[in-house]
Amino acid sequence: MIKGCIFDLDGTLVDSLKDLAVSTNHALEACGLAPHPIENYKQYVGNGVLKLVERALGEDHQDLFDQCLQEFMDYYKDHCFDYTAPYPGIKELVEDLHKAGIKLACVTNKPHTVAEVIVPKLFGDRFITTYGGCADYPKKPDITSLNLALNDIGLTKDECVFIGDSNVDIETGINASMKTIGCDWGFRGEAELKTAGATKIAYKAHDIKEYVDDWNK
């Protein structure tokens, strides 16, 4: 019986790619470097802000890491809602799951200070708990933050499904021995999600509710 859904944030619940790209490009230009096309950032995101900055800098400019990271954080905290919005059908999905009594949580590698602002601003009180990346615990695919979320919502791994858009998310669910749903509309796409071993692939938001309903028959 599935009683809870634990979601990734970027590329799963919200399309934040442009804000992440614009903020990182701002940081690169502040460091005297050329910006990247927005499309490139689909491969840079997913493992937290440190990896995002590291990948954007490239091997030849890691000496600028600290400066670039600070420039990113200073800019992004004031611009994380410039373009970021839920994907089509996501708000309706969240409401449908809530009405069905499904408990919701968010576990993301996005900085915790940003995630805990974005989730309630876009989804109100529908998510019981949110865990973002911070120094207190390792990032996904480590399952520490996932286990903390399970504890907060009072459910076991067998009662929940982990939902995300990248191999990192699918690996997180697998590491916790949970069912997983890969979101085809996100940053990485169907091929990566299937290769990672997703239990199901969702092609539109409502597919997630249908999968949960099927598991609960």
Q: Is the dihedral of CA 35, 49, 40, 83 positive or negative?
A: negative
Whether a cis peptide bond, with omega within 30° of 0, leads into 141 is yes
- Supply the pLDDT for residue 195: 98
- Supply the pLDDT for residue 139: 96
The Cα–Cα gap between 165 and 126 comes to 21
The Cα–Cα gap between 89 and 108 comes to 20
Is 125 tagged catalytic?
no
List pLDDT tens digits, range 138-184.
999 999 999 999 999 999 999 999 999 999 999 999 999 999 999 99
Walk me through the domains of the chain, giving residue ranges and CATH numbers.
Answer: 4-15+85-215 (3.40.50.1000), 17-79 (1.10.150)
Residues of the chain short of pLDDT 50, as ranges, are none
pTM over 0.75: yes
Question: For residue 40, what is the DSSP state?
Answer: G
Q: Point out the catalytic residue in the list 8, 10, 169, 184.
A: 8
Both tokens of residue 15?
A: 């399309």
Both tokens of residue 68?
A: 């670039």
Determine phi and psi for 93, rounding to 5 degrees: -60, -50
- Supply the pLDDT for residue 180: 99
Determine the angle formed by the axes of helices 17-30 and 65-79, rounding to 10 degrees: 140
Q: Is the dihedral of CA 157, 158, 164, 167 positive or negative?
A: positive
